[in-house]
Structure formats: structure tokens, C-alpha cells
């Protein structure tokens, strides 16, 4: 699913932020996260947010985010939007890295568990062999005496 970010000034007070559910005031910067669906499957889904309310994005995190209509903003607002998008990208990569670390630590714990189980199994076998040897010595006649 292709995704991009659309920015602009709110044209009216009718749009609500998807995060805080408050109205986005007219002429305030709004960021729209658009998930473009395949052609022929309904319409693109566009979610509007306040500039400070968009913290993360859904969808493919490896995909580059195009910013549409950024040239329609003032230079100050363009800088704010670019900083926010960079922050979102960094946070999504950090989340991905955290998931990878969590996955790797789970693998490490699993390997440690398997090693411990294997060691316990070997210890059990060793004890069984020692017991068998002990009982063989008891049951065998004393040839040494």
C-alpha cells in the first residue's frame, strides 16, 4: 500500500484531528497521512492531524514518505513540517530497531533454554549410567576377595 503525507492550511473548521479529536481551526497547519489503495479498490484513506498530534505512522515503515503540497506553505511552516516528518521517520526506525532487539533477545533466551535443557538431559543420563554401574557392582559376585 503506497502512502504519502499531504500538508496544507485548514480550509475550514470542519476537519477533526484523528489523534485528539479536536477540530483543526481554519488556517492552521494540518498534516494528512494518506494510505493509497490499489486502483479500483474504493478511495484513498486520508487522516488529518494537527502538526503536533502526528507521532507515528501506520503502514510500511521502510517506504519513503513523499510530502505533497509542501510548497504551498510559508517557509517557517515548511521547516516545521520537515522537522516533524524527520522526527516521525526516526521514531519509526527506533521502534523497528527495538522490535529487532526484542526478537534477538527472545532468540537468545530460547537458545539459552535449549542449552540448559540439553545440559540437564546429559546430567540425567550421566546419573543413570552411574546408578547402573553402581548396581552392577552390587549385584556382581565379589571376585576380588
Domains of the chain: 2-99 (3.30.1740.10)
pLDDT of residue 26: 92
What pLDDT digit, counting tens, does each position of 99-111 carry? 666 666 777 777 7
As a whole number of angstroms, the distance between CA 71 and CA 121 comes to: 68
Q: 39: how many CB neighbours lie within 10 A of its CB? A: 5
DSSP 3-state percent helix, strand, coil across the chain (nearest 5): 45, 20, 35
CA 49 to chain centre: 21
* Confidence (pTM): 0.57
pLDDT of residue 3: 79
C-alpha cell recorded at residue 10: 485548514
Q: Mean pLDDT score of the chain, rounded to an integer? A: 79
Q: Are 81 and 70 in contact (CB under 8 A)?
A: yes
What pLDDT digit, counting tens, does each position of 16-73 carry? 998 899 999 999 999 988 877 767 666 777 889 998 888 777 666 656 677 888 888 9
As a whole number of angstroms, the distance between CA 15 and CA 116 comes to: 58
Read off the pLDDT of each residue in 66-90 and give the average, rounded to a whole number.
Answer: 87
Amino acid at each position: 500500500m503506497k502512502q504519502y503525507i499531504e500538508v496544507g492550511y485548514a480550509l475550514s473548521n470542519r476537519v477533526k484531528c484523528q489523534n485528539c479529536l479536536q477540530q483543526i481551526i481554519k488556517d492552521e497547519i494540518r498534516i494528512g497521512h494518506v494510505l493509497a489503495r490499489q486502483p479500483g479498490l474504493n478511495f484513498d484513506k486520508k487522516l488529518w492531524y494537527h502538526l503536533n498530534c502526528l507521532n507515528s505512522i501506520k503502514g510500511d515503515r521502510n517506504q519513503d514518505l513523499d510530502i505533497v503540497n509542501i510548497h504551498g506553505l510559508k517557509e517557517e511552516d515548511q521547516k516545521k513540517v520537515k522537522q516533524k516528518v524527520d522526527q516521525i521517520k526516526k521514531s519509526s526506525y527506533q521502534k523497528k530497531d527495538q522490535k529487532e532487539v526484542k526478537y534477538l533477545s527472545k532468540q537468545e533466551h530460547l537458545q539459552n533454554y535449549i542449552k540448559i535443557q540439553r545440559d540437564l538431559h546429559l546430567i540425567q543420563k550421566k546419573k543413570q549410567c552411574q546408578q547402573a554401574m553402581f548396581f552392577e557392582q552390587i549385584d556382581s559376585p565379589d571376585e576380588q576377595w
